[in-house]
Amino acid sequence: MQEQLPSVIHHFTDSDAQIENQTTPTFMPELPEVETTCSGISPHITGKTIANVIVRQTQLRWPIPDNLQQLLTGLSIHNVSRRAKYILLKTNTAETVILHLGMSGSLRIVNNKQKPGKHDHVDFVFTDGTILRFNDTRKFGAILFTSEPINQHKLISQLGPEPLSDQFTGRHLHTRSKNRKATVKSFIMDGHNVVGVGNIYASESLFMAGIHPSRQAGRISLKRYQKLAECIKIVLQQAIEQGGTTLRNFVNEQGKPGYFQQSLSVYGRANEPCKHCDSTIKQIKIAQRASYFCPVCQK
């Protein structure tokens, strides 16, 4: 099918987040929230057949395909998975619905008695009455459909390794960083190098690894990258585990699933004492993004 994507794909990046111009940091779905969403919705829709798709708002980041209902009705969901921050609903015909939560999107499971609210833009209605409902206040999310093998899709094919996979190592980061003048923070937030390290988790991982966020990516040793890769895995894994406790929010509640605000060491803590050394946490901008660090613990 013809996809209505712009000719130059502007990948989803956290540079979309003008949100940090606000004084209070706002939390948007990052990799742990997306992972939690996948495991939250999967048991409710896997194996079920789509009876209808109701689209109330077509203008998301890209227009929703106008034949989405025709394409999906009668198909069943073979499995639910995640690649970077894309949620992939693979159908029994090996086609795929690609969902992205953007800056404010959420998915929840409701039944057909629960009336849609203002920002409930799309309902995937299953034959047993289950509804997968997509809500997105700011409309930066996306819903696309493809018949292509998903790894060849242009939104997916150029992505770096998953941070929690064995392909993601300190050696991988060290090799990719050769001659890079970008800051290490921008480097780890670039999805070509590793996916899913958003602004919050970049700050947190660099703090845990003791690396200053402004340090040049090409000037960090293999040993320090090994520490950093380990810290990225720990920080993301901890967030996913905390998310597991909010799974009930995906089912039969009126509001949005509450994205979890885990206890953070540096992010959003400007002028507060460092949890390790009591120095004052500093906030700077790196590539337009609010960046938090401890000037004593991070070198």
Shortest separation between residue 278's beta carbon and Zn ion, angstroms = 7
- Select the span of 43-51, 134-142, 229-237, 276-284 touching Zn ion (CB under 5 A): 276-284
Enumerate residues 6+ apart whose C-beta is below 8 A from 274: 265, 266, 280, 281, 294, 296, 297
What are the tokens at 293? Answer: 């660090």
What backbone phi and psi angles, to 5 degrees, belong to 297?
A: -75, -25
- Residue 297 engages Zn ion in binding (rule: CB under 5 A): yes
Decide if 29 is catalytic.
yes
Rounded CA gap, 29 and 36, in Å? Answer: 10
- Residue 276 engages Zn ion in binding (rule: CB under 5 A): yes
Among 277, 280, 284, 288, binds Zn ion (CB under 5 A): 277
Catalytic residue among 20, 30, 35, 95: 30
Among 109, 125, 229, 294, binds Zn ion (CB under 5 A): 294
Shortest separation between residue 288's beta carbon and Zn ion, angstroms = 25
The full 3-state SS of 235-283, as one line of letters, equals: HHHHHHHHHHCCHHHHECCCCCCCCCCCCCCCCCCCCCECCCCCCECEE
- Residue 209 engages Zn ion in binding (rule: CB under 5 A): no
Among 274, 286, 291, 293, binds Zn ion (CB under 5 A): 274
Q: Which is nearer to Zn ion, 87 or 235 (CB)?
A: 235
Q: Which residue is nearest to Zn ion (CB)?
A: 274
Long-range own/partner contacts, residues 257-263 (CB < 8 A, 24 or more apart):
257/37, 257/40, 257/106, 257/107, 257/108, 259/27, 259/28, 259/29, 259/33, 259/106, 260/32, 260/33, 260/36, 261/27, 262/238
Catalytic residue among 20, 25, 29, 227: 29
- Select the span of 40-48, 121-129, 139-147, 273-281 touching Zn ion (CB under 5 A): 273-281
- Residue 211 engages Zn ion in binding (rule: CB under 5 A): no
Pairing assessment for the beta strands 130-136 and 86-91 based on DSSP bridges: unpaired
Shortest separation between residue 228's beta carbon and Zn ion, angstroms = 17
Q: Which is nearer to Zn ion, 38 or 297 (CB)?
A: 297
Rounded CA gap, 267 and 279, in Å? Answer: 15
Decide if 204 is catalytic.
no
Q: Which is nearer to Zn ion, 124 or 267 (CB)?
A: 267
Catalytic residue among 85, 133, 185, 256: 85
What backbone phi and psi angles, to 5 degrees, belong to 131?
A: -125, 130
**Annotated active-site positions, please?**
29-30, 85, 289
List residues near Zn ion by CB under 5 A: 274, 276-277, 279, 294, 296-297
